[in-house]
Amino acid sequence: MLSKPTRVATLAAIAALALSGCAGMGKDECRAMDWRTVGYEDGATGQGIERLTSRRQACSKHGVAPDLDAYLAGRDEGLLEFCRPANGFRVGARGRDYAGICPAHLDLPFTDAYQAGRTLWQLETQVRDATRGIVNRRAQVEEIDTALLGIGYAIIGENRTPEERAQALLDTRSLTDRRGRLVAEMEALERALPGHEAELADYRAWLAEAGY
């Protein structure tokens, strides 16, 4: 396992790399990079091996090659930190993808926990999307009602030409049709939302019983 001083000494460089992107690595940064620590951090955060590829490409521009053995040794250590069931649940519950990077002897418990968290995220997203959909459609209906009121005044206005009144009637029909579709969609979401909320509540209860 990497020593704490060694890890701390390169955290600033790693943070700068994350902010600037691998393509922005300079010659001095490539030469000074502690590849074992970089590998550990990549493994501990669940990064795929493609992160090494992008760094290799960036440093090759400066004639610097990564220490592959050191990186992979550090990454293996980092994966032991990442591939824990509790972390798998957190990764899934945040909606993150899992690319199967854990070692075989850790993959199954990690994946089981990941799927439990992922299901929670999916159910929460279902409730959130339905709620947002209702709010969004209600706001659009209110906007249409305001527009229809304005068009109504335009139709009965004394100084309107026949062409303007005809266009106002067409606009009224179009907006009314759109309003009808929005109301139907909103009512469908309102009918579905209680079921989504109940499903989420039941699943959260199951998670508590299962020890998540």
Is residue 17 classed exposed, middle or buried when 0-12, 13-18 and 19+ CB atoms within 10 A define those classes?
A: buried
Considering the domain architecture, whether residues 118 and 41 belong to the same structural domain is answered as: no
**Terminus-to-terminus CA distance in the chain, angstroms?**
28
Quick check: 102 pLDDT over 70? yes
Measured at the CA of 73, the angle between CA 46 and CA 21, to 5 degrees, comes to 50
Q: What is the distance between the alpha carbons of residues 63 and 135, in angstroms, rounded to a whole number?
A: 56
**The tokens 């939302």 sit on which residue?**
193
Residue 91 forms part of a structural domain: no
Lowest-pLDDT range of 13-17, 36-40, 100-104: 13-17
Q: Same structural domain for residues 32 and 78?
A: yes
Residue 77 lies in a domain: yes
pLDDT 10s digits, 159-211: 777 787 888 889 999 999 999 999 999 999 999 999 999 999 999 999 999 99
Domain around 43:
4-82
Query: Do 72 and 154 belong to one domain?
Result: no
Encoded amino acid at 197, one letter: E
Confidence of residue 9 (pLDDT cuts 50, 70, 90): very low
Residue-level length of the chain? 212
The structure's pTM equals 0.76
User: Using CA atoms, how far apart are residues 142 and 126, in angstroms rounded to an integer?
Assistant: 24
Number of domains in the chain: 2
Tell me the pLDDT tens digit for each residue of 112-125: 999 999 999 999 99
- Residue 176 forms part of a structural domain: yes
Model confidence band, residue 91 (pLDDT cutoffs 50, 70, 90): very high
Is position 87 within any domain?
no
Query: What pLDDT, in 10s, does the model give residues 127-145?
Result: 999 999 999 999 999 999 9
Is 88 domain-assigned?
no
**Are 69 and 135 part of one and the same domain?**
no
Is 139 among the domain residues? yes
Residue 15's pLDDT band (boundaries 50, 70, 90)? very low
Q: Which amino acid belongs to residue 118?
A: R
179 neighbors 141 (Cβ within 8 angstroms):
yes
Q: Select, from the ranges 23-27, 37-41, 162-166, 192-196, the one with the highest average predicted confidence (pLDDT).
A: 192-196
Residue pair 45/87 in contact (Cβ under 8 Å)? The answer is no
Q: Provide the token pair at 104.
A: 């075989």
Is residue 99 a part of any domain in this protein? no
CATH label of the domain that carries residue 175: 1.10.287
Q: Give CB contacts under 8 A, 24+ apart, made by 22-26.
A: 22/51, 22/54, 22/55, 22/57, 22/58, 23/54, 23/57, 23/58, 24/58, 25/55, 25/58, 25/59, 25/62, 26/62
Same domain, 77 and 118: no
The DSSP annotation for 122-141 comes to: HHHHHHHHHHHHHHHHHHHH
Residue 130 lies in a domain: yes
